[in-house]
Amino acid sequence: MGKKLVFGTMFLVGLSMLALTSCQKDDKSAKPTVKITETGSHDAPDGKVAAGEDLHLEAEIIAEGLIAEIVVEIRQQEGGSFVIEKKFGADSKYSGLKNADFHEHIDIPAETPLGRYRLRLTVIDREGQSTTAETELEVIAEE
């Protein structure tokens, strides 16, 4: 009778442990989503900006894990090495938001070489997950 009681107790404890561990839900939220909706300057067509002007950049962001940082990188293509980077971190108006309409003006210095660039917008949430959206950008001569 004692063996049955010990085995029965062990069986119930094991079953309880299995039930408790299998019912835990995954607390990890979905990765952020990013959609670039507008690039360019007020004086140039969409996708183009004149050297020495501000780049108008808009995007729709959803981050269930809440926004920790947004990084904008503009990198010269076709063998060039010119890079512009701008970070919006913990002190930005986007930090801690779940949904954001990203709207910023980024300075394109007058000495920026003309030509094609790759614009990357990366959103990092507070869980460390990130998503990047990319688009083409052309730096043109000031009119």
Q: The domain spanning residue 37 has which CATH number?
A: 2.60.40.1930
pLDDT value of position 2: 65
Domain with 76, as residue range(s), is 33-140
Q: Is residue 67 part of a domain?
A: yes
Is the pLDDT at 11 greater than 70? The verdict is: no
Q: Is residue 14 part of a domain?
A: no
Predicted TM-score (pTM) of this structure: 0.80
Is the pLDDT at 18 greater than 80? The verdict is: no
pLDDT value of position 33: 98
Is the pLDDT at 84 greater than 70? The verdict is: yes
Contacts of residue 142, Cβ cutoff 8 Å, sequence gap at least 6? 50, 51, 52, 53, 110
Average pLDDT over residues 93-119: 97
